[in-house]
Structure 1
């Protein structure tokens, strides 16, 4: 009889540990989003600015093309458009995390206001609320693309801590996207337009 109690405690510990691990993985990959609307706190994302030696319409085309047109094979592992309209899409974005062992899946609406603005609104993700924008300004040498956003998390300080973890990765992903946008827009502007 004395062996049954330690066994029961070990089983409960394993169950709690397994549930905690599953919950964490669900939260990180956005498979189990937490949106309880209690203790919501907001933080700013960005701003990030990139100067692009290409006309504004070319930059807008580079950003909007995979959403509004056919998604190129090269980025299908990062983007899947679920619903496509003339100026609004619902899209899944795939981001490798944990050294590529896991993938976070976010679902966002993306609204296009040619040629100066693209707005993103999170529908499902690792935090309950994110709104972002790309604003394109014509300059004498091309285009200035400005990114900024706002992230909301629930559950007071624990949510605020979680938001800081997510925001660091989120902003890093945006920076990589801005760099890719600049490279492709400048390539097209130099005569390699596709």
Structure 2
């Protein structure tokens, strides 16, 4: 009978590890212990857009500062709006769409040249990012994405950060492609 007790303890520990992993992956259980912090760059990613800077800025800002379009509600939920800053949840499918990672970020808008993001809650303890928009002439805009990601727990955190950064940067690249297409559609240039 002692083996049943041991088997139960092992199963409970395994279930706890699985629950902890799922919590970290989805951002439901943020790990921010402040020990062994390592940072890594995100980006840069550069996109040239055949649209004026104000149009590009508006394409990025409108879902946050205005009404979030129905098509974006599965990806974005604004929790609090101010005149130049919002607190927003971002939803990203992970694990082949079987799970959804939720991040909570502040997003600050400096019209027309900059949008800054700061992670409040997510799968890593620290992320800061920016979209910097510069005019490149003839009504075109260059959007440069850059950021920094911080993780805790030395090499373990570094490994986790590399895994998260891969998905994070792919999500950003997808968003930038949507911004480019929409800004160019609005100006009639593609």
Whether these two folds match at TM > 0.5 is: yes
What residue is the counterpart of 1:93 in the other structure? 90
Match of 1:140 among 132, 137, 141: 137
SS in 2 for 1:43: strand
What residue is the counterpart of 2:174 in the other structure? 176
Residue 63 (1) aligns with residue 67 (2): no
TM-score (norm 1): 0.96
* TM-aligned CA deviation for residue 94 of structure 1: 0.2
Larger Rg: 1
- The whole-number CA distance in structure 2 between the counterparts of 1:163 and 1:6 is 39
- The whole-number CA distance in structure 2 between the counterparts of 1:111 and 1:132 is 11
Question: CA RMSD for the aligned pairs?
Answer: 0.7
- The whole-number CA distance in structure 1 between the counterparts of 2:105 and 2:16 is 28
TM-score (norm 2): 0.98
What residue is the counterpart of 1:187 in the other structure? 185
Residue 54 (1) aligns with residue 48 (2): no
- In the comparison of the two structures, how many residue pairs are matched? 188
- The whole-number CA distance in structure 1 between the counterparts of 2:25 and 2:2 is 34
What residue is the counterpart of 2:35 in the other structure? 38
- The whole-number CA distance in structure 1 between the counterparts of 2:2 and 2:26 is 36
Where does the alignment leave 5 or more consecutive residues of structure 1 unmatched?
none
* TM-aligned CA deviation for residue 31 of structure 1: 0.3
Residue 103 (1) aligns with residue 89 (2): no
